[in-house]
Structure 1
């Protein structure tokens, strides 16, 4: 974690050729879909907010 952020990498420790961009993009889309139904126990009326940035 970096403050309230998470950094994710693909292709480490084992290289995965040119697939890292696609893997990160798919993971990002899956996370965005998952937060739609995520319930915050102590704030059930609020929606979890998620921002994603990708650098390659």
Structure 2
């Protein structure tokens, strides 16, 4: 779901980029994402989206 959100937000079609985003998401999930409440999850996803936008702008 996070991968789709990021991909839809920044409108990128590159398979390599999608794999990059997926790797970033996997790193986030290793930080005990399931234990965080919903608001913290949203904040983490927003930070990832913001960082990826910076990389590709």
Choose between structure 1 and 2: higher helix proportion: 2
TM normalised by structure 1 equals 0.39
- Structure of higher CA gyration radius: 1
TM normalised by structure 2 equals 0.39
